[in-house]
Structure 1
Amino acid sequence: MVKRIQIPGSERSALPKAKKTGPAMLDHEITVTVYLRRSSGNEDLTEMMKNMAERPFSQQYLSRSEFEQKYGLEDESVKRVEEFAREYNLKVKETNTASGTIMLCGTVENFNKAFNVELSEYEHPDFKYRGRTGPIEVPEGLSDIVLAVLGLDNRPQTRPHFRVLSESRTGNFARSQASRSSYTPVQIAELYNFPQNVDCSGQCIGIIELGGGYTDNDLQQYFSNLGMPMPEVTAVSVNGGKNAPEGNPNGADGEVMLDIEVAAAVAPGAKIAVYFAPNTDAGFLNAITTAIHDKKNNPSVISISWGSAEANWTSQAIQAMNQAFHDAAALGVTICSAAGDNGSSDGVNDGSVHVDFPASSPYVLACGGTKLQGSGQTISSEVVWNEQNNGATGGGVSTVFSLPDYQTNAGVPALAGNGGNKGRGVPDIAGNADPVTGYEVLVDGQSFVIGGTSAVAPLWAGLVAIFNQQLGRPVGFLNPALYQIGQKGGSFRDITSGNNDTSGSGSYTSGPGWDACTGWGSPNGVNLLQALQAMQPAEV
């Protein structure tokens, strides 16, 4: 009898309010992603990350081809998984040696046997899903290389972090200055002093989407209204996901259009690659690894506006995705991720505080939210975004990731309500997110004002694209540099008023310097670019 080993952190429980309705159909074909541990090279990459943290921009980033050659899966590891698949009548659908993933397809019955699980159907008040409880097991011969098995359970893993202003606005975006309470992305960029007249045609911004879609007609009309040429937008299908507008602006379409319109408007000329995948842990991972290792579109920065509280993930999924973000850092790809829209609880109603993942990854630029008021280049007021039941910026302290070196001197507090724990602090930076002072966008033929930290991730992604264009090289793993710059002052607008408590479960309050509501604050784009230029070595 083959000895089996549990994959650490693979345990699942049924969702609250979900009822098991019966076993999954045994002959139903499904696809599952196996994420493998790198058998060599981790020490080199760890040393590279350490050098980056201590001396930003001291390391030459790897090209995608160099990374695959040096750190891609070894043939022996792939062979072992292929033999395992054959033994259980599974087929290898796709192998991505650069990302370390192998996709297997087969029947529910064969996957039940292969991983010693019992897949069942569950009914939740809002959806149905195929799920499992307990851990996943693999034969002992694979336990040293299999890091995660994702996709057996296909519950919705994340939610988009955007909020539509309750009173929709229709018609032309041009309104009198006196009545304006919302802004085009171009006006937001002006308020934040983004470098102007930069042609970003040498850059590609990747955007991760787990539902919804866009139409060329909407994009043409939107950018025509802004007086800008329509950007080049490419849809990339991952795991069967596709550009599929639902016709519901309050649904995923609102997220997709917000992301594209904000990123492309603030980084004129940048190409946009949108990676569509199913909203599952496997779909999310594969969308991210596809974007990171995409040799065709070559995104230098990736915007993620989807996420969920750390408590809602399996640790195997977090570990796999964090490894992917670690790889992105080595490649010089910046990851911008929304910090969440439900304040310090992050939408978990357990009386405790939580932070959102993937924003909590130490290799991700976590984007918090403010309420911004101003005109032209003059900001009259900016405070922490907190409209109570109508949303508030995520932020706090991770219970998964320890305090990264670059945050050592930032003054990250202990976890609220739990004196001693000092983990990774979230967010790193911020930007306008309150829908009351939100972004004017066009979705499904209608004009809306939308906010949420979902808007901040593409806003910063656009700013990073400008940096990359102006510097002539990717800024890549930006966090260590930003923390050094933040401590010197002058490159951020420090947000010192407000908190992110929405539930009475505890909260974090803004104050001078870094805080767990808005990080270092909102950007002064020109000053930040100058600070980055000053840090660049003469030759790298």
Structure 2
Amino acid sequence: MAPPRLFRSLVVLSLVAAPLTVATSTAEATPLQSGGVVNFGCATSGKMHCLGKAIRSPKGNGPLVVSTPVGYGPAEIQAAYNLGGLHANGRTVAIVDAQDAPTAEADLAKFRFARGLSPCTTANGCFKKVNQNGAASPLPAPDYGWAEEISLDLDAVSATCPDCKILLVEADSPDIDPLMTAVDTAAATPGVVAISNSYGGAEDSTILAADAHLNHPGIAVTASSGDSGYGVSWPASSPYVTAVGGTTLKKSTTAARGWTETTWSGSGSGCSALEAKPVWQHDTGCAKRTVADVSAVADPATGLGVYDTYNSCGSSSFCDFLLALGLAQGADGWVQVGGTSLSSPVIASVYALAGNSVTSGSYPYAHTGGLYDVTSGSNGSCGGTYLCTAGAGYDGPTGLGTPNGTSGF
């Protein structure tokens, strides 16, 4: 049987056509709200389709372009998950993606400057980009859709764990073999304590052999649960990863925490058809592996502001015009993003802040006191069971809950 087609986790973008500027700001931001949407995605040699939607530009059928930071930033992510003042002490989060993002380091620098974070560069040893074999060159062919994913992942790590070092490992293509080679390369790199995988694909018989590449005791391997609602994808269904679902995160003037979270309707969840149930998972409605384990913000309407400039038209007001019309690919500035593509690197970064040696996704199950329980919302139809409906305790869409500091990780 052919390997499963992989899909990139949903990335929802918001852009406003305007001349591009980058303003330094650590103030709290208000996320842009969803209006009309357009599909945003790409194909790489027919192997993988990047699935996403963008808020529709009033000028046409493409995304909007914004000149200043939008959405949530480091202040909101750290406040919502009780992470303020914590440090990674030299630990590294690895990001595994496919294809190359030529502007990744420069765009990361703009994001961190605008958000008041210290530089994270190749020169100062904080950032490193390699191919799937761990070498600086040759890098894979670039791709506009994967470049947006990469910007999201790098900025999510920066927002959650500002002093984490970041290793970006770029697979040659979005097929299982190169992606798993990239995971192994990340795990073999000194200092890496967590590896985030913001992609997924349908389960089939090939995944069981591939699971071995996700089995790295002592290192937290996270995987997005999916962005199409109720239903299971791999590698989130692997028993060797922490499967990360998604929530809608909103500020609250009445909740003691200062924030509320509900299930994001796009969060993937369910019962695996093939993967064995790990010994640390004890829910009774699924005889095999249940997705997800934990969760974090994923709703694009309450998403992260990300900076990305890799596009097919350059940098000009005319390029922004073409992007707005949908006649060019990529982005040219600040975008507001979501999907479990966001929640996976957030959770990987929390693992890095915790600094514990972990085995697969077991740690949160033994430390549920370190999680905010998400008790409302649904991601689809499953007869009203916990597999698609949030409730007290464990449920499929949000798992055990979201981080309350690092004690659950």
Q: TM-score, normalised by structure 1?
A: 0.57
Higher mean C-alpha displacement, 435-444 vs 367-376: 367-376
Question: Does structure 2 conserve the Cα–Cα contact (< 8 Å) formed by 1:183 and 1:439?
Answer: yes
Quick one: structure 1 residues 484 and 497, their matched pair in 2 at CA, closer, same or farther if it must change by over 3 Å? same
Question: Does structure 1 conserve the Cα–Cα contact (< 8 Å) formed by 2:77 and 2:159?
Answer: no
Unaligned runs of 5+ in 2: 6-41, 58-63, 121-125, 310-331
Tell me whether 1:523 sits opposite 2:403 in the alignment: yes
Structure 1 position 186, deviation (Å): 3.5
Structure 1 position 485, deviation (Å): 1.8
The amino acid of 1:413's aligned partner reads G
Tell me whether 1:279 sits opposite 2:174 in the alignment: yes
Structure 1 position 356, deviation (Å): 1.0
State the distance in 2 between where 1:233 and 1:128 align.
26
Structure 1 position 505, deviation (Å): 12
| Corresponding residue number in structure 2 for 1:323 | 212
| Corresponding residue number in structure 1 for 2:68 | 172
Tell me whether 1:206 sits opposite 2:94 in the alignment: yes
| Corresponding residue number in structure 2 for 1:72 | none
State the distance in 1 between where 2:51 and 2:155 align.
16
- The superposition leaves residues 161-197 of structure 1 with CA deviations (integer Å, 9 ceiling, x where unpaired) of 76555564512227xxxxxxx3114311211111x22
Question: Does structure 2 conserve the Cα–Cα contact (< 8 Å) formed by 1:159 and 1:306?
Answer: no
Count of equivalent residues:
332
The amino acid of 1:324's aligned partner reads H
Q: Give the one of 233, 236, 240 matched to 2:127.
A: 233
- The superposition leaves residues 254-313 of structure 1 with CA deviations (integer Å, 9 ceiling, x where unpaired) of 10001001112321222111111121222112111111223xx43111011011121xx4
Quick one: structure 1 residues 252 and 403, their matched pair in 2 at CA, closer, same or farther if it must change by over 3 Å? same
Q: Secondary structure at the match of 2:249?
A: strand
Tell me whether 1:491 sits opposite 2:377 in the alignment: no
Question: Does structure 2 conserve the Cα–Cα contact (< 8 Å) formed by 1:161 and 1:453?
Answer: no
The amino acid of 1:12's aligned partner reads A
Q: Give the one of 121, 139, 143 matched to 1:242.
A: 139
Q: TM-score, normalised by structure 2?
A: 0.74
State the distance in 1 between where 2:376 and 2:307 align.
32
- The superposition leaves residues 291-338 of structure 1 with CA deviations (integer Å, 9 ceiling, x where unpaired) of 1223xx43111011011121xx4x23x123211222x02xx1110110
Which structure carries more relative contact order (alpha carbon 8 Å, separation 6+)? 2
Structure 1 position 494, deviation (Å): 1.4
Tell me whether 1:216 sits opposite 2:98 in the alignment: no
Quick one: structure 1 residues 407 and 479, their matched pair in 2 at CA, closer, same or farther if it must change by over 3 Å? same
Q: Secondary structure at the match of 2:262?
A: strand
| Corresponding residue number in structure 1 for 2:186 | 291
State the distance in 1 between where 2:223 and 2:117 align.
26
State the distance in 1 between where 2:72 and 2:240 align.
30
Quick one: structure 1 residues 258 and 374, their matched pair in 2 at CA, closer, same or farther if it must change by over 3 Å? same
| Corresponding residue number in structure 1 for 2:233 | 356
Quick one: structure 1 residues 13 and 362, their matched pair in 2 at CA, closer, same or farther if it must change by over 3 Å? closer
Unaligned runs of 5+ in 1: 1-10, 16-125, 130-154, 175-181, 345-353, 387-391, 415-421, 469-473, 533-540
Question: What does residue range 1-150 of structure 1 map to in structure 2 within 5 Å?
Answer: 11-12=1-2
State the distance in 2 between where 1:166 and 1:502 align.
28
Tell me whether 1:448 sits opposite 2:335 in the alignment: yes
| Corresponding residue number in structure 1 for 2:193 | 300
| Corresponding residue number in structure 1 for 2:275 | 401
The amino acid of 1:205's aligned partner reads V
State the distance in 2 between where 1:338 and 1:287 align.
17
Structure 1 position 375, deviation (Å): 6.0
| Corresponding residue number in structure 2 for 1:340 | 226
Question: Does structure 1 conserve the Cα–Cα contact (< 8 Å) formed by 2:92 and 2:191?
Answer: yes
Structure 1 position 412, deviation (Å): 4.3
| Corresponding residue number in structure 1 for 2:325 | none
| Corresponding residue number in structure 2 for 1:429 | 294
Quick one: structure 1 residues 466 and 333, their matched pair in 2 at CA, closer, same or farther if it must change by over 3 Å? same
Tell me whether 1:481 sits opposite 2:377 in the alignment: no
Percent of aligned positions that are identical: 28
The amino acid of 1:302's aligned partner reads I
